[in-house]
Chains A and B, each alone.
Chain A
Amino acid sequence: GAVVSQHPSWVICKSGTSVKIECRSLDFQATTMFWYRQFPKQSLMLMATSNEGSKATYEQGVEKDKFLINHASLTLSTLTVTSAHPEDSSFYICSARDPRSPNTEAFFGQGTRLTVV
């Protein structure tokens, strides 16, 4: 079945630094990928929709200059948390749906646990 791979699975960084998270679709081409954030004991909140070859679409309240999304190829989207602060510590998950089967489940990456110290 379709697989989405996310890397790294966890990262600890110092406040003020930037962190890049990668999301790859391994056996299908994803023109669209989705980035979610999940705080402890809360559900997944959509941050942005990553569109291959064009600008990402951000949800209300998500700072586009802080959470940079690049979708340069059909199999890779990256989320960069710039100038990270402790309040950015969270679980970040990407997902994609196989366009060959658009009305099927979304496949999720393994998630990245970010801790900013």
Chain B
Amino acid sequence: NAGVMQNPRHLVRRRGQEARLRCSPMKGHSHVYWYRQLPEEGLKFMVYLQKENIIDESGMPKERFSAEFPKEGPSILRIQQVVRGDSAAYFCASSPQASGGSYEQYFGPGTRLTVT
């Protein structure tokens, strides 16, 4: 049973380019979460999605960031016009259900974004 998969593992972008990060949840999991971790800092919640729905995007910056989880295919976190401050590790997690947040989340290996 494959775990949460993320790709690419490392991504380098120049300022102003777009970054697309992909996440495939564990088999049987329909809830996906994205987190950002800056160097030497803790995980910051960004967005929670179910298939075709954004449930909670309270942690997403208002501009340049978007996320989707289509009916088919992986979840995508998209960052437009990247800036140096976007350099971070982006982790995706999945859970089978999320009734009241009671189900533990399983994390992918992360995508390390470097903006030059």
Q: Do A and B come from one complex?
A: no
By a beta-carbon cutoff of 8 Å, the part of chain A in contact with chain B is none
Chain B residues in the interface with A (C-beta under 8 A): none
